Amino acid sequence: MCQLLGMNSHLPASLTLSFAGFSQRGGCTDHHGDGWGIAFFESNDSSPGKGVRHFVDKQSAATSPMAQMLKSYPIKSHNVVAHVRKATVGSVTLENCHPFVRELWGRYWVFAHNGDLKNYAPYLHGHFRPVGNTDSERAFCWLMQELTKSHADVPSVDELTRTLQELIPQISRHGTFNFLLSNGQALWAHATTKLCYVLRAHPFPQVHLKDDDVTVNLAQLNSPEDRLAVVVTEPLTTDEDWTTLAPGELKVFVDGTLAHCSCQCAAPPRPAPITDPHGPVPVVPVGPAPQCERICAASRACTNMAATSNPV
């Protein structure tokens, strides 16, 4: 299967350090050598950017000259989604490289998926059609189609999260559906099997990359005002406290904090209002678990205005 990497930051930050370790999994320290990609919602100030720099390559991330360039070229962003591919559905071509990008409500949306969806052939009847032949891009197009049907204009992050919680089970019933999704305002992360995250804030620790022999003191590279979340398939560092997402869990990161997390025990399931041709499906309930409320409250307590371009 593939691997995912995402970042959500309060201040525009570069992902050079994390991407340096992550890209090694694209054919060097791991076998995900069937292409890679990364998308940045670029920004130079405290407001999240709407424009996207999108790089994809069918070469492995460990050997791609483009990947080598991005390790040393800091692109400042509030939201980043990256992917290294191990092809299971679809050929090794440029159009099948994640992340995929679409426009909806005057904003770009970026999506990357890890997993296999068996017998997944949704009815696509609107503006969103796949260019390649992966199950991942079909799932992304269906999500965009159903979001369009559910909202007349761009809704709030909370409203989008509730709609996604109703839609996701209709896809995940077909197999493994680990994914990252961003529209530049937030980063949504859903796990079926493997996905974890770490919240970085002052005081910053010293970290050692798992996939490269590099040790960095983040306190020397970040200011006390910096705050961000890094989400990845498997931990990037050996000495940080990474939190694993539970199967079926959806987390939302905004402004470098954990803004929402679903939990099967947080509230009773409610029926999905969207028709599923395969019959009723369980819906991940709305509302964070009590322990998640404490995490969210603590992370929301920090606010700052200064900008940074430091690697994370």
Catalytic residues: 2
Which residue, among 231, 232, 222, has the nearest Cα to 201 in the 3D structure? 222
Task: State the Cα–Cα distance between residues 48 and 254, nearest whole angstrom.
Answer: 10
Token pair belonging to 265 = 């025990």
Question: Which position has the token pair 């679903």?
Answer: 262
| CB atoms inside a 10 Å sphere around CB 279 | 7
Question: Which position has the token pair 């909370």?
Answer: 158
Q: What sign does the CA torsion over 141, 142, 144, 145 have?
A: positive
Task: For residue 270, give every residue at least 6 positions away whose Cβ sits within 8 Å of its Cβ, in sequence order, or none.
Answer: 283, 285, 286
Q: H or E segment at 69?
A: helix 65-72
Token pair belonging to 65 = 């000259």
